[in-house]
A = this chain, B = another copy of it.
Amino acid sequence: MSSLLATAVAHPNIAFIKYWGNRSEDLRLPVNGSISMNMDGLITRTTVHFDAGYEKDRLAINEIQVDGKGLDRVVKILEIVRAAAGISLKASVSSTNNFPTGAGIASSAAAFAALAQASVTALGLDWSEAKVSRLARLGSGSASRSVPGGFVEWYLGDSDEACYAETIAPKEHWSLVDCVAIVSSSHKKTGSTEGHLLASTSPLQIARAVDTPRRISLCRQAIFEKDMSKLASILQLDSDMMHSVMMTSTPALFYWQPETMAVMKKVQQWRDEGLQAGYTIDAGPNVHVICEAKKADEVAKLLKKIPGVQKILVSPVGDGVRIEG
């Protein structure tokens, strides 16, 4: 065998209970467990091609060659699968997104989920979903959650082996949508990987971590019971708690923009008026508004009216990573 190839597609995910801070940076073992849904419609497609003709690993994102740290993170994953398969072929990795990179849509989550699955399949390894999830985690923590489909929990675990994500409810369980209000598509100043390193500098992080099992439990309940009001409450609280930690880190990380806050306030106002929808915000300025599919048109229409909102992306609950072709 001198040429091995596979293509995988994966979706980003939006966390209802957020991941922020690692207890082991190297293994990306998180300080707290998290829950998310995959975002259908937003797709990363990654082809991994191991071939004797390559002298070194190479990476192209949206057809642009990437070197340095971006390539290093990819090589780390390739090294693991090569070691598992007992081969030494170098690879060409080519990844394309149909959504803007680095603006609060977790592009690295979809990217590393697709990379992990494509690498494993290309080398013919017979790995479980949990094992692929763990591999994806080593590239980007939240990528572990883009491997299984539907509603997903990433377990804290007490070891590398126990720290993976799995489906807690299939996408058919509950027709939710994520209406993303894009207020800026500029690249964020501080990426998540650097951000996680700062989490422990916030005096509030320890309290956030300690409180997580309570929030995880409330969020699971809200999903199992399909209780949108309960979900909206815990979504918003969890997002606000993560941003509290970010804003009180040294240096302070302010991902919220004035426009972000304008959307947050509107969503809260709609909730007070009886429209069940909740906001959650990742490491970027855009606002993810979660609601039931039957409310999506109304929510999207209202979001469009808010000054500063440039466009709306609407994502239903998506599948996990899968091999194409």
Q: Could you list which residues of chain A lie within 8 angstroms of chain B, going by C-beta atoms?
A: 203-208, 210-211, 214, 236-237, 240-241, 244-245, 247-248, 250, 252, 254, 256-259, 261-262, 264-265, 268
Contact = CB atoms under 8 A, between A and B. Distances in A.
B265 A252 contact: no
Contacts of A259: 258
Given A237-B252, A254-B264, 13 more contacts: A203-B214, A204-B241, A204-B244, A206-B207, A240-B244, A240-B247, A240-B248, A241-B244, A252-B268, A254-B268, A257-B265, A258-B261, A258-B265
Q: What are the 6 closest A-B residue pairs judged by CB atoms, nearest first? A: A244-B244, A207-B207, A203-B211, A258-B258, A258-B262, A204-B204
**Number of this chain's copies in the complex:** 2
Contacts of A244: 204, 240-241, 244-245, 247-248
A211 B248 CA distance: 12
Contact of A240 (B241, B252, B261, B265): B252
Contacts of A203: 207-208, 210-211, 214, 241
Contact of A241 (B208, B236, B248, B258): B248
Binding site secondary structure of chain A = helix
A217 to B, nearest CB: 13
Nearest to A259: B258
Contacts of A204: 204, 207-208, 241, 244
B248 A256 contact: no
Contacts of A254: 264-265, 268
A181 to B, nearest CB: 14
Contacts of A256: 261
Given A204-B204, A207-B207, A208-B204, A248 B258 contact: no
A91 B247 CA distance: 48
A16 to B, nearest CB: 16
Contacts of A258: 258-259, 261-262, 265
12 contacts: A203-B208, A203-B241, A204-B204, A204-B241, A205-B207, A237-B248, A237-B252, A244-B244, A244-B245, A257-B261, A258-B259, A258-B261
A259 B265 CA distance: 12
